[in-house]
Structure 1
Amino acid sequence: MDIRPILVTLLRHKTASLLIVLEIALSCAIICNAVFIISNRIAELQIDSGVADDELVYLATSSLLPDVNMDALRKHDIQALSSLPGVKSASSVNQIPFGGNVWGSDVRLDTEQVRPTTHASLYMDDGQLLQTYGLQVTEGRAFNADEYLDNSAFDPNKIGPSVPAIILSRSLAQSLFPGQSAVGQLVYVWGENQPPSPVVGIVSDLMTPGTPGSFGDRYHTMIFPIRVSNGAYALRTTPDQRDAVLAAAVAALNASDPNRIIEQKDTLAQMRADFHRRDRAVIWLLLAVCIALLAVTAFGIIGLASFWVQQRTKQIGIRRALGATRQHILRYFQVENFILSSAGIVLGLLLAYSLNMLLMSRYELPRLPLAYLPAAAVLLWVLGQIAVFGPARRAAAIPPAVATRSA
């Protein structure tokens, strides 16, 4: 088909053509980036925490009484919690994935370093953390019994007992010691005055609490053999017993200390759901935006094509009288729409890239993969052809005689 008559017609209707091109371009740019953000948020929802999400419950407590011996209270609490029916393991913890408490430390490989190599999140092990969280040592060993310290006897800001041993997550180990084993290496952590600590083991990736970007990597985590007595406990049970265990744990803690305040009590699954509430809201919002933009674009194409069919009734009738078939008329409008869509898509892809660069600079969004661009182009091409099909069929159905008499 000769497209020169189509181009001449479009140039004769510059304003309408430009408006539909701009509408398609804006839809393309926004949809490309919106779908990319949606895919990133969905990936966040599916992120592996590294722990037994479906088997853990978490409690955070505090006492109203002054001068409480927190170390003695921790021992009593762990004994009471471990004996509850359905509890596989109980641990006093300083933080948990998807929780609000975030502990961290700079990591240096040399005492003379001005800037740390990275920043990592700290998990404190009271002797039951690995079993409770469901962590597996993949290289090296777990902590020995004589390596554990009470947090009350440890001050990272003063010269004193150093962290006797460290377990690293796999991601942190590979980042600190690429191409070699981290087991047996020395690192400087948790205070500038501390001597180096040996790495004794590696566990599979364990997620940091807090928002992504708080540390060098979401899996840059370390485990110290330090028993914390801050009133926070994690219990491992079976998925079907989580609610019952949580209720029994609250009752047991209140029975041992009537002056205790239960500040938080949740299953880790619920904590994860709460943590990702904003991600889910963003996904639904952007989906609504994408659907609205596609609908507006489709109705814009339908409206413009319907208007042009009405305006060109005489021309269509003359073409039909001169021998043009319905298929010719149908193809004319489809080619015309394809040209407009292509112009809008080319401009939209440039806008999509520019918008992504802006989002990268303002909100630390990753670079838009090139695969999203052709996918958006195909989507809008198909949408355009579907939207124009109805008006084009009506145009093709105009009888030559009726069109001629309408002059």
Structure 2
Amino acid sequence: MNLRPILSSLRHHKLTAFLLVLQVALTCAIVCNVAFMIANRVGQLTLPSGLAEDELSMVHVVGIDKDDNPQVRHATDLAALRAIQGVHAAVAVDSLPLSRSDSSYGTCGSRESLDQAMAARSMQGSSGCVQPSVYSGSEGELAALGLKLVAGRDFLPDEYVPAAPGWVAANVPSAIITRALAERLYHGDALGRDLYMGGRPPMRVVGVVDNLLRPRLRAPSVNQYSVLLPSVPGDSEVTYVLRSAPRDRQPVLDAAVDILGRLEPSRLIPPSSTRTFAQLRQKYFQRDTTMIGLLLASALGLLFVTALGITGLANFWVQQRTRSIGIRRAIGATRGDILRYFQTENFLIVGAGIVLGMLLAFLLNAELMQHYELARLPLFYLPMGALVLWGLGQLAVLGPALRAAAVPPVVATRST
């Protein structure tokens, strides 16, 4: 198609065309960044925890009897919980992934890295040191949580050490770490290596699990930095984790609350902390889910407003050009020619807006990176946004273009 009539017509409507180009550009910039933010949020929602999530439920208890021995109480409680029909395993833990209760210690993979970090008074001063989350629990924790060993072994019964209230045991002989942490500290070769943590004597790495998410998410690169220790929780406040078939989780929870209440009526069992792991995950990501809904609604609303702008402008131009359309029809232009004219005109306007919008998208992303720690916008979002806007523009202009193509030549030439 000869573009000269189209460009000539746009030169006579510079302000109107410029406003539409600006609207498309702003829509492109915002929608590309919003789509990236939604993708990041969805990626967080689907992060694997490493646990058998659909089989786990938990009961959090708070003992208030100062004369009670926590270790004895935990052993008694666990024996009763394991006797519940449908319970496959039960353990006492200090924390769980996505529970927000995070304990972390400076951890190094060698004595040299530890000395370097101590001299610098910072874990950031040594490439061989990080600050992972630390989990402790009673015997059988790996099997109860559904963690998958990819190397090494589980803890032996004689490796479990009772912890003082509020602390991880100081003389723990061994540790199990995640694959991500093994890669970070030992380049994957972790079995049998010494692990230095929080001023404790070195611990021997005896196993590596596939993944274990942190209780509180941080940067994506460190979310799988976790350590398991054979340190039996020593607090009167503890979480019992029960593993059962997915259909048995609620009956198991009800039975567990009843049994624990009868064993020690004076202790507290908060109803809000008696839940399945799926409910724990849902609560942790509640804000992210709400934010995804808001971002999606804003992006769709902006696209809708842009489509309305394109349709309104096209309708206005059809009304203005009715006589010229009729003249073209009278000298031989077909309906397809008129239809392609308006579609091409829209394609050029939207294309100009997309080019400007790509530049604005990078500028907006730079601001978000600076103030909200958002990652850099990947380049493939730009062609995706361009295709969406071009498609939206063609759909929005289709109705007015079809109406213009249907103008009879005789009626058009008489409307003077």
Question: For the superposition of Structure 1 and Structure 2, which TM-score range results when normalised by the shorter chain?
Answer: over 0.9
Contact 1:162 1:196 in 2 (8 A): no
Equivalent in the alignment of 2:126: none
Q: Distance in 2 between matches of 1:375 and 1:360?
A: 21
Change (3 A) 1:87 1:310: same
Q: 2:133 aligns with which of 118, 121, 138?
A: 121
Q: Say whether 1:228 aligns with 2:233.
A: yes
Q: Distance in 1 between matches of 2:415 and 2:292?
A: 51
Report the Cα offset of residue 123 of structure 1.
1.0
After TM superposition, the runs of 4+ consecutive aligned structure 1 residues lying more than 4 A away are 153-156
Contact 1:334 1:389 in 2 (8 A): yes
Q: Say whether 1:257 aligns with 2:264.
A: yes
Q: Say whether 1:196 aligns with 2:208.
A: no
Q: 2:152 aligns with which of 140, 147, 151?
A: 140
Q: Say whether 1:177 aligns with 2:186.
A: yes
Report the Cα offset of residue 364 of structure 1.
2.2
Change (3 A) 1:339 1:161: closer
Write the deviation string for residues 21-76 of structure 1: whole angstroms up to 9, x where unpaired: 11111111111111122222222222211001011111111123233221221111
Report the Cα offset of residue 336 of structure 1.
0.7
Report the Cα offset of residue 315 of structure 1.
1.6
Alignment of 1:27-66 (within 5 A): 27-66=27-66
Contact 1:118 1:216 in 2 (8 A): no
Q: Distance in 1 between matches of 2:96 and 2:69?
A: 24
Write the deviation string for residues 98-136 of structure 1: whole angstroms up to 9, x where unpaired: 213112111123331223211101111311211110123
Write the deviation string for residues 278-303 of structure 1: whole angstroms up to 9, x where unpaired: 22212222221222122111111110
Contact 1:28 1:380 in 2 (8 A): yes
Report the Cα offset of residue 216 of structure 1.
5.9
Q: CA RMSD in A?
A: 1.8
Q: Distance in 2 between matches of 1:136 and 1:309?
A: 66
Write the deviation string for residues 162-197 of structure 1: whole angstroms up to 9, x where unpaired: 32111111111111111x5101111211x23x2221
Q: Secondary structure at the match of 1:18?
A: helix
Paired letter, 1:198: R
Report the Cα offset of residue 316 of structure 1.
1.5
Q: Secondary structure at the match of 1:398?
A: coil
Write the deviation string for residues 298-352 of structure 1: whole angstroms up to 9, x where unpaired: 1111100100111112222222222222222111111111110100011111111
Q: Distance in 2 between matches of 1:123 and 1:71?
A: 17
Equivalent in the alignment of 1:67: 67
Contact 2:32 2:361 in 1 (8 A): yes
In the alignment, structure 1 segments of 5+ residues that lack a partner are none
Contact 2:323 2:413 in 1 (8 A): yes
Q: Distance in 2 between matches of 1:319 and 1:153?
A: 89
Report the Cα offset of residue 153 of structure 1.
8.3
Q: Distance in 1 between matches of 2:82 and 2:322?
A: 84
Q: Distance in 1 between matches of 2:69 and 2:173?
A: 24
In the alignment, structure 2 segments of 5+ residues that lack a partner are 124-128
Q: Distance in 2 between matches of 1:183 and 1:343?
A: 58
Report the Cα offset of residue 154 of structure 1.
9.5
Change (3 A) 1:153 1:389: closer
More displaced stretch, 318-327 vs 334-343 = 318-327
Q: Say whether 1:319 aligns with 2:328.
A: yes
Alignment of 1:274-293 (within 5 A): 274-293=283-302
TM-score by length of 2: 0.92
Change (3 A) 1:55 1:182: same
Contact 2:50 2:148 in 1 (8 A): no
Equivalent in the alignment of 2:249: 242
Paired letter, 1:113: Q
Contact 1:154 1:161 in 2 (8 A): no
TM-score by length of 1: 0.94
Q: Secondary structure at the match of 1:209?
A: coil
Aligned positions, number? 400
Q: Secondary structure at the match of 2:241?
A: strand
Q: Distance in 2 between matches of 1:395 and 1:135?
A: 65
Q: Secondary structure at the match of 2:151?
A: strand
Alignment of 1:4-403 (within 5 A): 4-108=4-108, 109-110=110-111, 111-114=114-117, 115-116=122-123, 117-152=129-164, 161-178=170-187, 180-189=188-197, 191-192=198-199, 194-213=200-219, 217-230=222-235, 231-263=238-270, 264-403=273-412
Paired letter, 2:161: L
Q: Secondary structure at the match of 2:47?
A: coil
Write the deviation string for residues 373-403 of structure 1: whole angstroms up to 9, x where unpaired: 1111111111111111111111122222222
Q: Distance in 2 between matches of 1:353 and 1:67?
A: 62
Contact 2:98 2:216 in 1 (8 A): yes
Paired letter, 1:137: L
Report the Cα offset of residue 209 of structure 1.
1.1
Paired letter, 2:202: P
